[in-house]
Amino acid sequence: MHGKNFDIRIHNTHRIRFTRDAFTVDNRMLVDLLETNGHAKVIAFIDSGVAEAFPDLENQVSTYLDRMPGFTSKGTIIQTGGEPCKRDKSTLQAAWDIIEEAGIDRHSCILCIGGGAYLDVIGLAAATAHRGIRLVRFPTTTLAQDDSGVGVKNGINAYGKKNFLGTFAVPYAVINDFTFIHGQPETERRAGIVEAVKVALVKDAAFFHWIESNCLQLSKLHPHTLEEAVERSALLHASHIAYGGDPFETGNNRPLDFGHWAAHKMEQLTDFTLSHADAVSVGVALDTVYSWKTGRLTEESAMRILKTLSTLQTPIHHEALNLRATDDTRAIYIGLEEFREHLGGELTILLLKDIGKGEDVHTMDTHLLDECIQWLESYATLPSQS
């Protein structure tokens, strides 16, 4: 008897929305997005940093939830966000406890309002409680709105490694409320622009040219220019997830992780005092120079990229690159093996052949990387870069 094979493709809808003042009474975006069986519950988790920056937010959210037709509000919860919440499992455990005590079920909905790290933690809680509860993400930082918040990853750090524990889970929806990014401190607003540069470099040369042309406006955080950069970056990231053929990263190819092998290790080496955005900026600069020094990328293109990063006031070098391991090699190179391990299979690093065009490689020459790091350090100290 011959066996029978069935391949069933399951589709997920990835909803991305852009708005302002999502929790005002006349904004129906969230209400219109959600479906209800008439007696569903809804609960909102809020990053404490966001609650402090927007003192009226908790009351606005509570009022909005109380008026949502077809839902019973289970209130708002404020927790400490930022990188510490990913390093301490107590935030995740507390979220599970709250979900269970509130009777949140698979017909219910969880809202999460916060930066990328907090979205990761609550996303993990939502994805694992009852094997998955509808989650609506409200990213509040530039970095989360144009990159991580529109993704499908959730996780926490463990065993000294970034995102060691986590899931891939498509959120029910992502609502990018531009009101949040304009209310953030300057450093937070500026930080996420590097992810727009990154995705442009690997996916869309025209977008990079636009960033390059609008560099001064972006460096001054001009509101409409920043919003356009965030929106275009978010849609590029989401489009790759939806149409790139590997949304849950079962293969080795990771174009959206350009510059990240070094970035993740630098964060760990600095005990996360170096922000993710600044680490990515240095990682992008390093892999750009390496792409040039290996003959893939022209010197002219490499200089354009470095000039853009410098004009945007994001770093291109950090002392973490010079830290040494016990064998006196650069500790940053341990990140190559950890990156391979995180991906599974062989090491796969994306380098640039041109602006908007990448190429996967499976080895990195650490002697040449040494030269690139030394070159970057000298370049970063030039008067025109300071």
**The two structure tokens encoding residue 263:** 């970035």
Q: What is the rounded CA–CA span in Å between residue 278 and residue 272?
A: 11
**Residue 338 pLDDT grade (very low, low, confident, very high; cuts 50, 70, 90):** confident
CATH no. of 187-385: 1.20.1090.10
Among 3.40.50.300, 3.20.20.70, 3.40.50.1970, 3.30.1600.10, name the CATH number for the domain at 16-182.
Answer: 3.40.50.1970
> What residue ranges of the chain are covered by domains with CATH 3.40.50.1970?
16-182
Give the burial string for 35-55 (b: 16+ CB within 10 Å, else e): ebeeebbbbbbbbebbbeebe
Phi-psi region of 78 (alpha: psi -120 to 50; beta: other; left: phi over 0): beta
pLDDT at 147: 84
Start-end of CATH 1.20.1090.10 domains in the chain:
187-385
Return phi, psi of residue 265, to 5°. Answer: -70, -40
Which tens digit of pLDDT belongs to each residue from 244-270?
655 555 444 566 789 999 999 999 999
Q: What is the mean pLDDT of residues 140-158?
A: 89
In three-state secondary structure terms, 17 is strand
> What backbone torsions phi and psi does residue 110 show, to the nearest 5 degrees?
-110, 130
What does the pLDDT look like over 67-79, one tens digit per residue?
988 899 999 999 9
Please report the DSSP string for 272-309 in residue order: T-S-HHHHHHHHHHHHHHHHHHTTSS-HHHHHHHHHHH
Average confidence (pLDDT) over 34-38: 79
Tell me which residue of 329, 317, 337 sits closest to 370, measured CA to CA.
329
How far is C-alpha 30 from the geometric centre of its chain's CA atoms?
Answer: 22
- Secondary element (H or E) of residue 65: helix 57-66
